[in-house]
């Protein structure tokens, strides 16, 4: 019962983070909101794996978190280089 409530709360928080990603005033706010969505998505996968007792999904969540971290680093580097090039012109 408790994990069902947590599951639906996490889905609602993902929706709120998506709204923040769309309406974020700056690009960095949008990047942070997308990172929040991926972290909460990972938590949803873990809670679902616990509810359904499918322990292989926890490995999927860990790989998902790893790819999310790498993508966030690369996007931050890309955006900072793009901003630096824009200031030079």
Residue 84 pLDDT exceeds 80: no
Number of domains in the chain: 1
pLDDT of residue 57: 95
CA distance 88 to 70: 27
Residue 52 pLDDT exceeds 60: yes
The more confident residue out of 51 and 87 is: 51
pTM of the model: 0.83
pLDDT band at residue 80, thresholds of 50, 70 and 90? confident
Range of the domain at 69: 2-88
């Amino acid at each position: 019962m408790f994990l069902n409530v947590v599951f639906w709360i996490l889905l609602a928080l993902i929706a709120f983070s998506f709204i923040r990603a769309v309406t974020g005033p700056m690009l960095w706010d949008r990047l942070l909101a997308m990172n929040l969505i991926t972290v909460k998505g990972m938590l949803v996968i873990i809670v679902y794996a616990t509810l359904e007792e499918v322990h292989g999904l926890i490995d999927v969540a860990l790989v998902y978190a790893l790819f999310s971290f790498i993508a966030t680093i690369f996007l931050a580097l890309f955006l900072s280089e793009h901003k630096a090039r824009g200031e030079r012109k």
